[in-house]
Structure 1
């Protein structure tokens, strides 16, 4: 007997979720098992509904121990910063929950930790300044970095001050001020010792250093950008929803009003077109 998608969805909805009186106190091992049940339910619920929000909130509270675990790696920053670190880590946890799919066939803990640590490292990057810089310029520097990356991807070259000013809704003088403000920002040496006593031998790189293999793809990205610009509107939209918004094929199908199978065919055709273009330019 063939089970349809609708029947499978109804079967998942029919499973009664266990009542979790205090999700934040669930032991990590139990949280891993319970999370699978709640992710199953979340996948078939409509976003924005009370039931969806309740399941999502339970997942967040049950997995707070992951944030505390990740934040513990940065305890040498001192107790004054720890509260901020945990709050920032929670943002990473929420992003991981919203983007996780059981079909990835990986444990949620394995999927979530990089999101949490990445958010914490971004917090350090955006708040570590060697000299005092006005708050507005600190914020402008972050916006400048995002705008520069967006325009570089769109234009295939480094944007001009004028182009940045238009995108950021700032004057060219303010854009230049933001660039100068970047000179007041610096990071701690990766060789700097952390902790005290027995822990003093550990270097900061032992905790946050990692090879960025994506750097090897920079040339490919520059080659790919004009090819994506040459796709038709629907092809670009599908590529954006799948690889930028990280939507599943089923979600994309819902938004476009087509079947998941049709989305799969469109994706395969579009990716094949981009791959052929990459090889022809190589």
Structure 2
């Protein structure tokens, strides 16, 4: 059902709000005028009643165009994020409706847009960091970006840390901390394509990191532990003195009261026993 402005005004005098079949399809210009009527009645209706809910819900739907308008400022974020941006903007619209006061003599659109934009910016600030950092550093990153751009325009080059420090009224350490925190704002998948390699498209993981060959030692140590435990006391003592205490065979012989040649034979026999056990295990 289409409601003209004359009908709406006449109905308002009877303190009965017009029934609008699809408030979201009301033109923005008509929505601005009808909003005044609905806000006027919202102020006198009892909260929680069906009439109050109708007035509030209609105001929300009629002013969805404000959310789409505000969200348009962030279209550079990409189409994948626009749905989330609009949803967050709706929260800002609802807050604006609940806090709007007709006695301020301010247009609702003027009042609502900062609420919507603020809610969207808060969403980006709180949820789009790839790594969680303190709010203080999140805000410092924004100031750092603005200061960097201002000085780059003024100086015609990338500003130094000292120059940023003076402009931002922060210490050099705080500026460096903010720059380091900025690295946590976004991240890339290790599977992200970085171009074409010799065998086709290459991923980021192909260029960073390497196989840790020491991991093999961990497996060897786990396999070796029960074998060492199976040696007799003298064999374990020789292994400990040679490879933990790093004593020479002559020094080991002095501790055991035997010749260096005898220590060499005992050590070779023990190592052969351990090596055979490792090969059998693998």
TM range (shorter): 0.3 to 0.5
Between Structure 1 and Structure 2, whose CA radius of gyration is higher? 2
Normalising by structure 2, report the TM-score: 0.44
Higher relative CO (Cα under 8 Å, sequence separation at least 6) belongs to: 1
